[in-house]
Amino acid sequence: MRIDIISFILLCICCSTYSQDKPVYFYDINGLPISKELYINIRKERKEKSSVWPLVFENDTCYINTFFRRKNYGRLTETDFKKLNAFLNNSNTKPKSNYTIIQYHPGRDRCNGGKFYGNRYEKKYLKKLKKNYSFNNYWIHKKDTTIKFKNGRVLWQLDKNRIVEKLFFKYHYPCSSFVIINNETKNYIAIFGEYGDYTVVKTLEKFSEI
């Protein structure tokens, strides 16, 4: 799996070159500290289609090696829902659509460069979904001056105050992520990490049945 290869490369880098400058810490899926050996063993024992994925990232003081659940459910508070809607639509009125889809670009990484590849950037699947579901789709990106988010294939919108990031994508999940929100119940489902158009379609179909 592409994302697993990426995180393995990052792990090797963190544990060799950069570990001389910053300490490297390892945590399990629940955020509890574990040894490097146990972390590596857990990674090896993961099944190919596991719902738990490895995550490697850097903060100001150290490198973190941990795991995350690819699928995450939650519910927005009324305050957060209004804040999000005001940002997306520049309006305080309730969205008329049943669902809100946010496809999020986390900034440059090993599978996110200056060009946008992948069928998730095509609009055919969104048009097909429109026949059966009422939703608005938004392309949101984190501020990254190394990437030119030109309004071409998709209409990019900058996450100015990191509203989307803080609500749904607190870490840099590689290769983009997306979230679907039920505008009536405020419930949401977020899919972290690499995905394609098929994943968006199936996630909305299943989420609508809940």
- What is the tens place of the pLDDT at every residue in 126-139? 999 999 999 999 99
Parallel/antiparallel/unpaired status of strands 156-158 and 135-141: parallel
How does DSSP assign 103-171, residue by residue?
A: EEE---BTTB-SS--SGGG-SHHHHHHHTT--EEEEEEE---TTS---SSSS-EEE-TT-HHHHHH--S
**Phi and psi, residue 80, nearest 5°:** -65, -35
pLDDT in tens, 22-56: 899 999 999 999 999 999 999 888 766 678 889 98
Q: Is the pTM of this model over 0.95?
A: no
pLDDT score for 1? 44
pLDDT in tens, 151-162: 667 889 999 999
pLDDT score for 209? 95
Q: What are the residues whose beta carbons fall under 8 Å from the beta carbon of 161, sequence distance 6 or more?
A: 87
Under CATH, which number does the domain 71-207 receive?
3.40.30
Domain ranges, ordered by start, for the chain: 2-69, 71-207
